[in-house]
Amino acid sequence: MLLVDLSQSMETKDFVDAKGATIDRVTAVKQVLGDFLSKRKGDRVGIIVFGDAPYVLVPFTADLDLARRLLGEMRVGMAGPRTTLGDAIGLAIDAFAKSTAKAKTIIALTDGNDTGSRAPPVQAAAVAHDRGIDTVAIGDPSTIGEEKLDEATLRTIAESTGGGCYRAMDRKGLEETQ
């Protein structure tokens, strides 16, 4: 299950695309996830997007062309301006509870700066202890305010679930998380 942050902070332009142009965080995520999905064969993938609240954009499916198409239609703010990472983890746990899949992995692509979850991200991760949440920290660690990168929270989530925490400070770093 891919969790994609569409909050206002993902509008921050601190990535460079393959042509050298400065792009926002969500555009970089969409490009790299599109490449990631095109390489998956026989996998089932789901996508949860989150802002003020999380929602399932793509339920578990083997139709990766559909997943890529819907990924391309994602826009910053379409789920609201805030970040509810903890609630997105909770929704992913619920989706897995209804799934018969043997491999259950959550990959969260976010700056991690939770600004509104009912369940704080670390608490939600404790519930998902056996799920193996991989977190991908998106953005420049020197950014301040609501656009800042909360790498400490993302690392705690990954460590508490047996997952990995990866830094994607630029497009090359984001591609290497695949």
Q: What is the pLDDT of residue 171?
A: 60
104-144 tens-digit pLDDT: 788 888 887 788 888 778 787 777 766 666 677 666 666 66
In angstroms, the CA 161 to CA 4 distance is 19
| Between 17 and 84, the higher pLDDT residue | 84
Evaluate whether 109 touches 3 at the Cβ level (below 8 Å). Answer: yes
Question: Above 90 in pLDDT, residue 55?
Answer: yes
pTM of the model: 0.83
Confidence of residue 150 (pLDDT cuts 50, 70, 90): confident
Whether the per-residue pLDDT at 65 is higher than 80: the answer is: yes
- What is residue 66's predicted lDDT score, i.e. its pLDDT? 94
Q: What is the CATH number of the domain that holds 91?
A: 3.40.50.410
Which residues form the domain of 69?
2-176
pLDDT at 97: 84
**Confidence (pLDDT) at 130:** 61
How far apart are the C-alpha atoms of 125 and 102, rounded to whole Å?
19
- pLDDT higher than 60, residue 41: yes
Q: What interhelical angle do 25-39 and 64-72 show, nearest 10?
A: 170
The structural domain count of the chain equals 1
The sign of the dihedral angle between the CA atoms of 173, 65, 132, 117 is positive
Q: How confident is the model at residue 72 (pLDDT cuts 50, 70, 90)?
A: very high
pLDDT at position 95 over 80? yes
More confident residue, 120 or 62: 62
Looking at residue 35, its pLDDT comes to: 87
Per-residue confidence (pLDDT) for residue 36, from 0 to 100: 86
- pLDDT on residue 6: 95
What is the rounded CA–CA span in Å between residue 136 and residue 158? 9
